[in-house]
Amino acid sequence: GMLMYEDGAFGDWLPDQFYGLHVRPDLKVGQIATNTHTLFAGTCEVKIRFKGKGGHAAFPHEANDALVAASYFVTQVQSVVSRNVNPIEGAVVTFGVFQAGTTNNVITDTAFLHGTIRALTQDMSLLVQKRVKTVAEGVAAAFGMEVEVELKQGGYLPVENNPALARELMTFFEEKEGIELIDIEPAMTGEDFGYLLSKVDGVMFWLGIDSSYALHHPQMSPKEEALAIGVDAVSSFLQKKAAE
């Protein structure tokens, strides 16, 4: 979405509104789910590298252990969600990669962390990004070493539905034969449609495809009847709006 927008794909024909759907395997064919606020979280990739001083394990006072500093960071950063995020709002900070050291008796000079931030509003995402960076810099300062923090959000902003348009869409689906509408909670997964919704009012919704395998699983097989239902749902709603 961001790359298309920045490349001028919508330069001559920027729509008044955007509507998009995303398939969902755990919903039945004929089920459509959305809400009047956030459907998908915004995501931000985080890369952090602590730079200390290597040395022999037997002489720790002559080194500056990047592994220990990074370990402190991993525990300290848990306080960002527990103490900086409103309990009734949603945010996630997860580090899935921790790389440091080569052997048991050598103190490593670098430690690398790779993680993700998830938040339901862009304001909250920016707050969490700022706090993660501050905690990393604070830990590095306490250990007397350098740290590099890379935050890469790209176009993965929260998918924030326009409340008025979402209510209009939901009312239409509630009254449409063959559709079962579900008012659903946000998901912490990311979706680049959020970038377009930050520029143009619109709505995204889930379309049920009834597969026993999870989203992105190689054996996920959507029920093909969902194709016609999805096309009819979107086109009939747009025809109604065009006639207004």
Q: What is the pLDDT of residues 93-107, one digit of tens each?
A: 999 999 999 999 999
State how many domains the chain has: 2
0.95 cut: is pTM over it? Answer: no
What angle do helix axes 122-143 and 66-76 make, rounded to 10 degrees?
A: 140
How many angstroms separate the CA atoms of 42 and 167, rounded?
A: 22
CATH of the domain at 102: 3.30.70.360
Verify that 13 and 28 share a domain, yes or no: yes
Q: 182 and 207 in contact (C-beta within 8 Å)?
A: no
Helix (H, G, I), strand (E, B) or coil at 19: strand
Mean of the per-residue pLDDT values of the chain: 96
CA distances from 24 to 37, 144, 209, 211, 225 (A): 18, 48, 6, 8, 14
The proportion of the chain whose per-residue pLDDT surpasses 90, expressed as a percent, equals 90
Residues 95 and 165 in one domain: no
Place of tokens 């749902």: 233
Quickly list H helices, 22-95. Answer: 66-76, 78-84
Instruction: Specify the residue for token string 């440091």.
Output: 100
**For range 121-140, the mean pLDDT:** 97
Question: 62 with 146, same domain?
Answer: yes
pLDDT tens, position by position, 21-44: 999 999 999 999 999 999 999 999
Assigned token pair, 102: 């080569």
Cα dihedral sign for 17, 23, 24, 30?
A: positive
Statement to judge: residues 46 and 124 lie in one domain: yes
- Residue 11 predicted with pLDDT over 90: no
CATH of residue 19: 3.40.630.10
> Can you read off the two tokens belonging to residue 115?
């993680």
Q: Mark which of 124, 152, 180 sits at the end of a domain.
A: 152
Dist CA 136 CA 95 (whole Å): 13
Residue 196 · residue 202 · CB < 8 Å: yes
Q: Which of 120, 152, 184 is the last residue of a domain?
A: 152
Q: Which two tokens stand for residue 64?
A: 């500056």
Same domain, 79 and 13: no
The whole domain housing 92 covers 42-152
Nearest Cα neighbor of 156 from 117, 184, 128, 114 is 117
Tell me the mean pLDDT in the region 7-30. 92
> How much is the pLDDT for 8?
86
